[in-house]
Amino acid sequence: MPTSLLVQGTMTLLPARFSLCFLALLTAVSGCTAGVGAGSDTEEVVTADGDDGKADGAIELRVRASDTTLWVDKLLTRVGDSLVLSGRTSRNLTSGSPFIFDDVYGQWSQPSTRTFEVRWEAGEARGLLSGVDLFFGLGFSPSSSRPDALTSHTRVQPRLVAFEGRGMSLSADVHPVVSGGRTVFRIRGTTREKIFGLHAQAGDVALSDVAVLDDTHFQIDLLDDHVLALFGSESRLSVTVDLRNGPQTKSASVALRVATLGLTARDAYEVWPVITCDQDVLACLDGLPDGTTDLGPCGDARPVLACRAQAGVTMDDTRLAAAIATIGARLDAIGLAADASGLVGRDREAAFTEGAYATVEESLTDLAGRWYADVAALEAAQNTAIETALDRVYARPLDLVEAHTPVAGDLNATRAVFADAILAHLASLNLSNTEYGRSLESVVHENRAGHVAAIRFMRDEASPEIIGENTYYIAQWLGAHVEAIINPASGAVTSILFEID
């Protein structure tokens, strides 16, 4: 029985007695095709790099085992909030069951006797993104010469497609790696000129996990929420690098492709066994400097996470409770209670302080279950979570309290309204696209005391200036000129000017 394999999108038939030797040689040379098993009861193909099919997902992967052929679309599609993988077989299907680790995973449907679809709601599809081993149990109409049941194996991989723009090269491959205690999706890029700044957005969401690695190389980490939001939508990943002659921007869409497809009549767990901890990966993890939170140098997420039981430390309930117990002392140490009156006014101090505590607690709780290479890395993650939450508290205090109500003719009330209006305006700006070149939280983090002092002046000391028919309140915020026009009849702000020198 001949064995078939896919090489750069071309199907080739090989005599069975030559298939293993040829497959081993081809795999070593190209890395694009892998044979599994010792005969025609099993076959697996791997999508060649750069071969992602058409945008409509019409191009298929094909495998054949036990005189049965399986095709699946190379690209998943999105229907509403669902991710859909479509396929067909050469025989009539009687049943199908998608599963991982013996648990049902996805909703199976059959539009016709030989076609099928598997759907995952966006909220349950996170495992797909990281390349989990996904199996389909396939039942067929009885046949005297062919098995009634086969099992398919697939892995899905995010990939960048439909590039637009210039100034840099972005890798199409999106690698799941472990960083910050969780799986992130890493994109690498290069430029020909020195990089002076780096900014990235997933749709309208500014990305914070961006890093310039050296003069001409950078990386961007997406969360699974970012990947799911970009996949199958009009939103795009947008990357801007600041070069000597100005900023350059490049964008791309996110696709989900079937990276591997296999079919077997044998025990699928024997053909595709669960990944175990490789000693080289374990040695890499043990060799990382203390406090390292980026485990990407040790490989992709799946082989790294396979060593979780043998290395590292997890943020469990005991460690989380101990971290939460430190919040009060941390807030006292930075003088949050004293800063509250300037940020939100004396009448809202208690509500603000309570909200700040809850914000920090929520940030720490987000670390629950995350796994780090060592205790130092976990403690570094705790400190980062606390600082990130405090930056948000200081930069966006109106997220924690209600804005003041305008009162006509009341100076103190108008000052409070002025300060609140400036805080709200700052929160609406994307300072990354200004001369500040970074987010509001980053700007406030670098000059927290100056930020508090500026808002306190607006709230306690700003005086009205009458120019023509308008009443102005004018101040400075970290080098920027700010002013607001107040309607005397209502005490409300009618317009704001924010001007960077």
pTM of the model: 0.80
Which tokens in the block code for residue 77? 């599609």
**Residue in this structure with the two tokens 């209670």, named with its chain if needed:** 337
CA angle 44-49-53, nearest 5°? 85
Q: Which domains occur in the chain, in start order?
A: 3-157+257-274 (no CATH), 159-255 (2.60.40), 275-310 (no CATH), 312-399 (no CATH), 411-500 (no CATH)
pLDDT computed for residue 33 by the predictor? 41
pLDDT computed for residue 90 by the predictor? 97
308-331 residues labelled b (16+ CB within 10 A) or e (exposed): eeebbbebeeebbeebeeebeebb
Q: Cα(81)–Cα(211) distance, rounded to whole angstroms? A: 31
404 residue type, one letter: H
Tens digit of pLDDT per residue, the chain (501 long)? 333 333 333 333 333 323 333 333 233 333 334 445 435 899 999 987 665 544 444 489 999 999 999 999 999 999 999 999 999 999 999 999 999 988 999 999 999 999 999 999 988 888 899 899 999 999 999 999 999 999 999 999 999 999 999 999 999 999 999 999 999 999 999 999 999 999 999 999 989 899 999 999 999 999 999 999 999 999 999 999 999 999 999 999 999 999 999 999 999 999 999 999 999 999 999 999 999 999 999 999 999 999 999 999 999 999 999 999 999 999 999 999 999 999 999 999 999 999 999 999 999 999 999 999 999 999 999 999 999 999 999 999 999 999 999 999 999 999 999 999 999 999 999 887 788 878 899 999 999 999 999 999 999 999 999 888 889 999 999 999 999 999 999 999 999 999 986
